[in-house]
């Protein structure tokens, strides 16, 4: 489990397609302490929970390897990732850690497309569009995870919604580089999903 509070921005150092392109082995450079990255650990990469299969240090910089499988490549923006792509990173939540965002599973539900970006004094407002299936879980003042970042929904209009991004978040995540037309990974709020399921079963 994660909280949607990004703790580093990594960069893909290498990408190797395997299994006839159905699996991508990614090497991600980061600033984490190598001593605290164990094989089998979970790290959210742009909101996608991936398993560490190897790690090390090269030229004084930590790296870790993960595999992105066919489902991940098909459902998320991972299919567009390449060498040099910057990724929001978050290590798995530990018992006793501060829950600064909201409960995030790291299981992206799909993608949302950025409709527009409006730069405001000290903030940025983004309008995004998603599918009708996912839009039903999005509510004003509710939580949403976009590229691994826990955000609060500002407005909702059918299948579009908006978020306001504060300066700190623009600085310490990849959101500062978002542009209209780009796709981002989306994970809807877990509580909203269960509430909808309970309603359906009545």
Which residues are known catalytic residues? 2, 42, 49, 51, 69, 107, 152
User: What are the Cα distances from residue 139, in Å, to 134, 154, 159?
Assistant: 11, 9, 11
Site of tokens 């991940």: 72
């Amino acid at each position: 489990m994660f909280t949607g509070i990004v703790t580093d921005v990594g960069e893909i150092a290498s990408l190797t397609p395997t299994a006839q392109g159905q699996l991508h082995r990614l090497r991600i450079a980061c600033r984490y302490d190598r001593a605290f990255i164990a094989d089998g650990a979970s790290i959210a990469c742009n909101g996608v929970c991936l398993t560490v299969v190897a790690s090390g240090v090269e030229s004084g910089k930590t790296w870790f390897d993960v595999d992105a499988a066919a489902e991940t490549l098909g459902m998320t923006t991972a299919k567009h990732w390449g060498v040099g792509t910057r990724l929001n990173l978050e290590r798995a939540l530990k018992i006793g850690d501060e829950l600064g965002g909201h409960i995030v599973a790291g299981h992206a539900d799909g993608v949302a497309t950025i409709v527009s970006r409006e730069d405001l004094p000290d903030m940025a407002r983004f309008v995004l569009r998603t599918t009708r299936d996912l839009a039903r879980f999005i509510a004003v003042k509710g939580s949403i995870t976009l590229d691994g970042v826990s955000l609060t929904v500002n407005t909702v209009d059918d299948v579009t919604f908006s978020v306001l991004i504060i300066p700190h978040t623009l600085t310490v995540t990849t959101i500062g580089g978002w542009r209209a037309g780009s796709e981002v990974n989306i994970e809807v709020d877990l509580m909203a999903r269960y509430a909808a399921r309970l309603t359906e079963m009545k």
